[in-house]
Amino acid sequence: MSTLLDDTTTPGTAGTPAPAKKGPRDGAFGNARALACRECGHEVELGPSYACPECFGPLEVAYDFPAVTREEIAAGPRNIWRYKALLPVPTDIEQSPNTEPGFTRLLEAKNLARELGIDRLWVKDDSTNPTNSFKDRVVACALSAARELDAKVFACPSTGNLANAVAAAGARAGIPTVVFIPSNLETPKKVNSAVFTEKLVAVDGNYDDVNKLASEIAGEEEGWAFVNVNVRPFYAEGSKTLGYEIAEQLGWRLPDQIVIPVASGSQLTKVDKAFQELIKLGLVEDKPYKVYGAQAAGCSPVSVAYKAGTDAIRPVKPDTIAKSLAIGNPADGIYVLDVCRRTGGAVEDITDDEVRDAIVLLARTEGIFTETAGGTTVGVLKKLVESGQLDTSLETVVINTGHGLKTLDAISDRVGPVATIAPTYDAFAASGIV
């Protein structure tokens, strides 16, 4: 794997001392202590590493948290940096240009709750982030790490939403940005990236092919920060802010149940990590909660493993309209199984037709137009209720990860004008619309 070096780290010639490596400044990663292996616990220095040198397990950020109060958090900005003491970012993070995502609305969904027969239901609506998806959260943390590591290129492999977020964040930060996507991605997601960067690269293959290419480039090229490859441990921490916000917006308490979409699985595991951190810090009451994962049937390796009662996740070739969830070999799949089983939740999947139905259901009950990933999550919520896997008497939160304008093709043949009439009252009266 490459390291991210400043130009001044080029070794000197004989008799000429090599300039000292610039390296991260003091406090570059806030209260983060190290990168810790999720398998064996081995710790390594904070830097552009994502695999354990001892067992090759995935690394994540470990902290020495100070005492943090609700009042200190509430006094912060109305974006994810209000939780900066709990993230791998410097204390002056607000001074660096970023897209300032987060603190999106938590909407009580009374109409949808009534439709599904749930006593109390909330939608955490991340479609209102700067590029209209939750990916702005993770990219903001990755951008901070890339800066501190003196990255020269900001990059990612993506199924669409991440591409949009990286391209926008790179533009605002003034860092050269290269984004790699599958060539068959939805047109709106391509346009939403290309408008921010001239270096949008379409790759013939699915996301897993694109991700493999990105890993190879990260290993060969110096100075590239792939947000979800060589700075992945920092990037993933941004998803914790979803959990922090839900707890704060509920009045500093955890929900009884939460339904979260699963692509790589990182978001689900980090929301659980956020809940555990809030309990450990005494910011919320320690109480049971259940975590449910949602996949599309055309790419459901984690759901299949859950239903088979195994930890063996077999990679699949995705075939679903929910392209942002179309990761056939999910990196955090086994950890999703662990969280859902430990908390008493489940992992479920639905068909593409059920995804479309759920998009319309959410739109016509709550006025929220979700992308296909959100449709998958709402559809799985419905299926969990109908199958008796979800307790309808408990307070439930469902996450909407992105805006439906990004995936118009998926729903365009389901909705449209009810009639075409002449511009006269007689034509209206004769139409039988009302």
- pLDDT tens for the chain, 434 residues: list them: 344 333 333 333 334 444 444 678 889 999 999 999 999 999 999 999 999 999 999 999 999 999 999 999 999 999 999 999 999 999 999 999 999 999 999 999 999 999 999 999 999 999 999 999 999 999 999 999 999 999 999 999 998 899 999 999 999 999 999 999 999 888 888 999 999 999 999 999 998 899 999 999 999 999 999 999 999 999 999 999 999 999 999 999 999 999 999 999 999 999 999 999 999 999 999 999 999 999 999 999 999 999 999 999 999 999 999 998 999 999 999 999 999 999 999 999 999 999 999 999 999 999 999 999 999 999 999 999 999 999 999 999 999 999 999 999 999 999 999 999 999 999 999 998 87
Q: How many CB atoms lie within 10 A of CB 358?
A: 24
Copy the structure tokens of residue 364: 């016509």
Architecture of the domain defined by 106-131+233-410: 3-Layer(aba) Sandwich (3.40)
CA-closest candidate to residue 291, choices 269, 315, 274, 320: 269
Residues 6+ apart with CB under 8 A from 432: none
What backbone torsions phi and psi does residue 294 show, to the nearest 5 degrees?
Answer: -125, 130
Copy the structure tokens of residue 281: 């810090």
CA 181/CA 189 separation, integer angstroms: 10
Classify residue 180 by burial, with Cβ atoms within 10 Å: 0-12, 13-18, 19+. Answer: buried
pLDDT attached to residue 22: 60
pLDDT attached to residue 13: 36
144-174: burial string, b at 16+ Cβ within 10 Å, e else: bbbbbbbbbbbbbbbbbbbbbbbbbbbbebe
Residues 6+ apart with CB under 8 A from 356: 321, 375, 410, 411, 414
Angle at the Cα of 243 from the Cα atoms of 238 and 248, rounded to 5 degrees: 120
Classify residue 270 by burial, with Cβ atoms within 10 Å: 0-12, 13-18, 19+. Answer: buried
Asked if residue 332 lies in contact with residue 360, where contact means CB atoms within 8 angstroms, the answer is no
Max CA separation in the chain (angstroms): 94
pLDDT attached to residue 7: 33
pLDDT attached to residue 8: 33
If you compute the radius of gyration of the chain from its CA atoms, what whole number of angstroms results?
A: 22
Sheet of 59-63: strand order equals 43-44, 32-37, 59-63
CA 280, 284, 286, 292 torsion: positive or negative?
negative
Q: Please name the residue that has the structure tokens 């999720």.
A: 38
Q: Where along the chain do its domains lie?
A: 106-131+233-410
